[in-house]
Amino acid sequence: MSDLPRKAVTRTAKLAALPLGFAGRATWGLGKRIVGESAEIVGRELQQRTAEQLFKVLGELKGGAMKFGQALSVFESALPEEVAGPYRAALTKLQEAAPPMPTRTVHAVLAERLGEDWPQLFLEFEDKPSAAASIGQVHRGVWHDGREVAVKVQYPGAGDALLSDLNQLGRFARLLGPLIPGMDIKPLIAELRDRVSEELDYELEADAQQTHAEEFAGDPDVVVPAVVHQCDQVLVTEWIDGVPLSEVIADGTQEQRDRAGQLLARFLFSGPARTGLLHADPHPGNFRLLPGGPEGEDDWRLGVLDFGTVDRLPGGLPAPIGDSLRMTLDGHADAVYELLRTEGFVKESVELDPDAVLDYLLPIIEPAQVEEFTFTRGWMRSQAARIADPRSPAYQLGKRLNLPPAYLLIHRVTLSTIGVLCQLGATVRLREELEEWLPGFVPQEELLDDGEAVEDRAYAEGTADADDRDDEEDGDSVAQA
């Protein structure tokens, strides 16, 4: 068995066969329509066969092909339920495993990067990988100081394979569009391609992971394994056990689903505020549920893995996201429209009806309107159908909006996280996380300092005593946060 296929002609041939297969199945479908089978049944069979072939090839090739498949996997919940089953089975395989590298290749990489005496660094090292992903695979071991560790070894030739795959996939992105309703595939592939160099740089990954590990050390809700050792093509981190999120999605209890969903939302919004970094690869294979949360062994914490792709946000998530979300919830159509235009979501050459923009946004932000919201595949499908139907006003308006480059990765991570929440079927107090962590979501005058609210509007409305205000102006009371 060979390791990651490196010959461009071999990989290109396999990927190039995909659109030919799609076309062949379309011809097969036309034939079945001619002999009398309904369009609905034929369409369902076409989607099922296309999914099976697509993800079989993506999983075998690893590299950029598998990375693309993993990015798609979180949007499975947008698919109609009658065709989601085959997709779900194929996508789940991509989230957790891929064909492994031969042992001799693993040992060769370790010898080259850690030195010929690399076995002396470990008290134990398991040759069989515990997980295999798009550009590397993970082996379990025991470091020489007794710590259990995860050893990530990069596939030889991974960089060339990543670029080759994503370039090839980009050439027929249009044909892949119908796989996930409402999603534009081409920008996704372009964004993945732009991140290739970061994915391959284990030093950058180690820095991002260690930053998170230090910030979340002792956190009651989130666990990030610390970095033990790093060199080119090899990354050694502390090992964490736990239930993979894909297993929770498949057969977890509702309690596990809700807890996982709440913690996933908390990590998404708190991470940038606490570290200046956004974990940008939120597919289920990168998360674990660990026992021993704040309520004891029967409670759960969220283990977070794989920091190869991050968005650097030194000030946390951009405040205009919180500002626009709050104003949308408050129904301020004109203010929302002006902010979107200022941030580049509405180009100067485009004129839109502010009220129509508000109507477009409100269903999307429904989870933030209530104290708690149950994310479901049905809700995700309804949103996808609303935005993907060319006959709908939402589709026409959505095509005229723009996504500024600075928001591209944030947008994908948010959508991906929502996709995972829908796969979980989790009931989440999303608004609580937004109020705590999203800049701009709570108006400045309502922010708290030392547990006391400062609300200038009370004075404007004449509800506060004038003497109290004088005291505050003298510095005797709480300053505004």
**Per-residue pLDDT averaged across 176-188, rounded?**
61
Per-residue confidence at 157, pLDDT binned at 50, 70, 90?
confident
pLDDT at 337 over 90: yes
The pTM assigned to this predicted structure is 0.76
List the one residue out of 285, 300, 293, 299 whose CA is nearest residue 416: 285
DSSP letter string, 361-406: HTTTTGGGTSS-EE--HHHHHHHHHHHH-TTSHHHHHHTT----HH
Task: Answer yes or no: are the C-beta atoms of 293 and 221 closer than 8 Å.
Answer: yes
pLDDT at 268: 96
Pairing mode, strands 227-231 and 131-132: unpaired
Contact by Cβ (8 Å): 413, 278: yes
Written as six digits, the tokens of 317 are 């998530």
Residue type at 454?
V
Q: Is the pLDDT of residue 193 over 50?
A: yes
Helix, strand, coil proportions of the chain in percent (round to 5)? Answer: 55, 15, 30
DSSP assignment of 431-444, as one string?
A: HHHHHHHSTTSS-G
Spatial separation of the C-alpha atoms in residues 280 and 413, rounded to whole Å: 6
pLDDT tens digits, 258-307: 999 999 999 999 999 999 999 998 988 899 999 988 887 779 999 999 99
**Residue 7 pLDDT more than 90?**
no
pLDDT tens string 51-96 = 566 656 665 555 555 666 666 655 666 665 555 555 566 555 554 4
pLDDT tens track for 404-455: 888 988 988 998 899 999 999 999 999 999 999 999 999 765 554 444 433 3
